[in-house]
Amino acid sequence: MSARGQSFGLSATAKLALVQRLARRRDGQDAQSAADPRGFGSIQGLKDWGLVRDAMDALSIESPFFRTHQGRAGAHTQIGNRDLINFGSYDYLGLNGDPRLHQAAMQAMARYGISASASRLVSGERPVHGELEAKLAAHYGAGAALAFVSGHATNVTLIGHLMTPRDLILHDAAIHNSCVEGARLSGARRVPFAHNDLASAERELRANRRGAQRALILVEGHYSMDGDVPDLAGFARLARQYDAWLMVDEAHALGVVGEAGKGAFEAAGIAPGEVDIWMGTLSKTLCGCGGYIAARAELVDWLRHTAPGFVYSVGMPPPIAASAAAALDILHAEPWRVAKLQANARLFRDLCRARGFDTGPSAGLGIVPVVLGSSVRATRVSAALLERGVNALPILFPAVPEGAARLRFFLSAEHEEADLRTAVAALAEAADSVAPAELG
């Protein structure tokens, strides 16, 4: 039986033995929780996580997460004093080590300090905030932009603040967790549609739009799990047809999608104004931390004065704002970086496919998944790959469906062709070393 056909990559016998072992441990944990009523053992999520950890221990699987990098994690990195080819970082254009970003950050730090020290609404506003936002607004041809200290919080606070229980949120089934959490916070009716399926989106919108006061369509410009892109022109038409707002999460699209890396609107051949709300992060191509919104000036001004995740949060550190602005300038001035990134991603994807790996619908722009089947297999192949000098992290259930667990490779303009060929050869060896029979 193949690994995909087994439950979590385990044979029936191995699965039964594991279930019995975990049941005994769970009974012991329940008894311990009953004896300690002030503890946290009654939290179901904590119990579930405990079972996952116990299962990993029982299967002798080391966690692939929270490994310490001992320097800048670019196309190469150091983990455990070993030099590794790295596919675990968002540094798409190779700017994280660029001295121009460092210089911009140091100048801002020397003038304004490290922290804004307060909410921007009161006394945390610095000139670099406005400079970054003006450049982001210009990039999208928008009336204004607003920068937040967290990309995840940007979606949560925007969607949670914008929509109400009388409204409808229609979103791609693969939309990022931050959008889902924002939708839950809003209380709006949340309806997913099949991933990247415009026809499915229209069916759901037609069935649900009539009873809602307002509607918001949520898509990503470059999906982080599959590496594919939406039919943005089609979604823009759909939004106009059904009197809905269209919001695009550009976290993994800026600097990656489109000939010059301008994002999903460039790839789709539409004006950026066809999209009502652009959201993005500063932590990928722009090598900082935080998120942003670009939209009509009236919406941004309202958010600036009322959005809880902005008003009640400290302002973005000035060095981060300054370095992100410098990175955006370099993106515009050096399109060769985008061309190199995309060439690397296409080559890596095609080399993987030539070896028989399933890379899903990846467009070969910056993200290439290698679907391996079960969560156990993906974790073990990741570990075997690390032993061979390549760092690529597994994506496991429930982040993806069981049976679709994968390794996710983030490409960079810094990778050389030799890096890619070496990594794919190592991946083939690692996958062969973790035979389906071993999983039982």
Same domain, 366 and 434: yes
What's the confidence (pLDDT) of residue 148? Answer: 98
CATH of the domain at 377: 3.90.1150.10
| The two three-digit tokens of residue 93, written as one number | 């254009």
* Residue 38: per-residue pLDDT: 75
| Active site annotation includes 60 | no
**Same domain flag for 380 and 435:** yes
Q: Tell me if residue 252 is catalytic.
A: yes
Residue found by looking up tokens 């998120």 in the block: 291
Residue 27: Cβ within 10 Å count: 10
Structural domain containing residue 413: 76-92+335-439
**Could you tell me if residue 65 is inside a domain?**
no
Q: Are residues 142 and 186 in the same domain?
A: yes
Cα–Cα dist 282/255, whole Å: 11
Same domain, 295 and 360: no
Asked if 239 and 277 sit in the same domain, the reply is yes
Q: Identify any residues that bridge with 78 across adjacent strands, giving them in sequence order.
A: 83
6 belongs to a structural domain: no
Structure tokens at 397: 């259930």
Instruction: Look at residues 281, 300, 333 and tell me which one is the last residue of a structural domain.
Output: 333
340 is a catalytic site residue? no
The CA-to-CA distance between both ends of the chain, in Å, stands at 11
Q: What is the pLDDT along the chain (440 residues), one digit of tens a residue?
A: 233 334 555 555 555 556 666 666 666 666 666 667 777 877 888 877 777 777 777 777 888 889 999 999 999 999 999 999 999 999 999 999 999 999 999 999 999 999 999 999 999 999 999 999 999 999 999 999 999 999 999 999 999 999 999 999 999 999 999 999 999 999 999 999 999 999 999 999 999 999 999 999 999 999 999 999 999 999 999 999 999 999 999 999 999 999 999 999 999 999 999 999 999 999 999 999 999 999 999 999 999 999 999 999 999 999 999 999 999 999 999 999 999 999 999 999 999 999 999 999 999 999 999 999 988 999 999 999 999 999 999 998 888 888 899 999 999 999 999 999 999 999 999 999 996 544 44
185 is a domain residue:
yes
pLDDT of the residue at 5:
39
Secondary structure of the chain in HEC code, one letter for each residue: CCCCCCECCECHHHHHHHHHHHHHHHHHHHHHHHHCCCCCCCCHHHHHHHHHHHHHHHCCCCCCCCCCECCCCCCEEEECCEEEEECCCCCCCCCCCCHHHHHHHHHHHHHHCCCCCCEHHHHHCCHHHHHHHHHHHHHCCCCEEEEECCHHHHHHHHHHHHCCCCCEEEEECCCCHHHHHHHHHHCCEEEEECCCCHHHHHHHHHHHCCCCCCEEEEEECCCCCCCCCCCHHHHHHHHHHCCCEEEEECCCCCCCCCCCCCCHHHHHCCCHHHCCEEEEECCCCCCCCCEEEEECHHHHHHHHHHCHHHHCCECCCHHHHHHHHHHHHHHHHCCHHHHHHHHHHHHHHHHHHHCCCECCCCCCCCEEEEEEECHHHHHHHHHHHHHCCEECEEECCCCCCCCCEEEEEECCCCCCHHHHHHHHHHHHHHHHHCCHHHHC
The token pair that represents 20 in the structure block: 């019995």
Catalytic hit among 284, 313, 340, 415? 284
Sheet holding 393-395, edge to edge: 367-373, 405-410, 393-395
Catalytic residue, from 76, 171, 176, 252: name it.
252
Burial 62-85 (b: 16+ CB within 10 A, else e): eebeeeeeeeebbbbbbbeeeebb
Of residues 236, 234, 272, the one with CA closest to residue 254: 272
Closest C-alpha among 53, 131, 73, 50 to residue 329: 131
| Shared-domain flag, residues 225 and 316 | yes
417 and 376 in a common domain: yes
Whether residue 389 is found in the same domain as residue 313: no
Active-site pick, 89, 178, 224, 382: 224
